[in-house]
Amino acid sequence: MSREIEPCRDAVRALVMTVLAVLCPYAMSTENGGSSKALGVDTVLAGVMPPPGLRMTTYVGAYEATKLLDGNGNPKPGISNFKFKVSAVALRFQYVWPGVELWGANVETRLATTVYANPTISFDLATRDGPVHRSGSDRGVSDSLLAPLLLGWHGDSFHQTAGIEFFLPTGDFTASQPVSLGRGYTTVGPAYWFTWFPTDTTEVSVSSIYLYNWENSETDYKSGDELNIDFGLGYALTPAFQVGASGYLYKQISDDKKSGQSVPGGNRGQAVAIGPFLRYHPTPGFAITFKWQHEAMVRNRTEGNRYFLQVALPTW
């Protein structure tokens, strides 16, 4: 294999994992940018902890991109005809402990995992001997999230939740493959969510998290620290139908490192996304939400469109 191909292949594999991280709720982090947080997911009733008992939310997502951008927001040099698609299904379980309070807050334990993901990628890589076509795919179970202790406070119009989330490398990671489902390292993130109802028909939800990534022992690569803010602005057309806009602001705030040294340029990821959503909630416990989010102002990541279908079941 040409020496030119190997580093470019590694960079593309890492950026593919960036996209998969964006799509799959609570599934992944990535080398060369990206986030273990599923960007743009926590946008509706983000700060409202469910009633005591167990609640399950199903996330069905799809993402497609034809752009792979560098640190200046330009197409990645040497890569053409780039295409990436992924679909995924993830489950999140929230258990709010009945009769348990701490500092005036309800207590929740959260577990989530991507039970199925199917990424595919293809591109042409420029070399001295001419373009070389590369492609790859994978499917299966990915990494998991565990939040042992979350605290939720409720008010008349303002709700908030705080705690620490752990993103665990339970999925398979293979450094030699163009795409892997697992991360190969752990990420920890202190998080804060709030939901504010300024009027009976208006909702403002914000989710924020600071992510610290462990080093990948297989590649000696450590992703930089990251800050992500999800947001949602909703308006209730009727008691059962809500429309609005949702998205996220993402910024990597420290350099990626290889063998303890910062990589050239830092490889810091950045992205902004926004798009419409529609939510149908005929009862307090059951809801279906559809979201479309378009990415812009992207650096060191893929730029594309993502689609989410979220189904929340009543607490039992």
Is the CB of residue 93 less than 8 Å from the CB of residue 54?
A: yes
Read off the pLDDT of residues 242-267 as tens digits, 9 standing for 90 and up: 999 999 999 999 999 998 899 888 88
Q: Read off the pLDDT of each residue in 199-220 and give the average, rounded to a whole number.
A: 94
- What pLDDT does residue 48 have? 97
Mean pLDDT within 31-47: 79
If you average pLDDT over residues 181-207, what whole number do you get? 94
- Give Cα separations from 246 to 278, 301, 311 (angstroms): 10, 20, 17
Q: pLDDT at residue 173 above 90?
A: no
Mean pLDDT of the residues in the chain: 87
CA distance 9 to 7: 5
Answer yes or no: pTM beyond 0.85: yes
Comparison of pLDDT for 148 and 219, the residue scoring more: 148
- pLDDT value at residue 27: 29
* Domains and their CATH numbers in the chain: 5-312 (2.40.160.40)
| Residue the block writes with tokens 């398979």 | 172
Would you state the pLDDT for residue 120?
Answer: 87
| Residue 15 scores a pLDDT above 60 | no
Give the model's pLDDT for residue 29. Answer: 29
DSSP 26: T
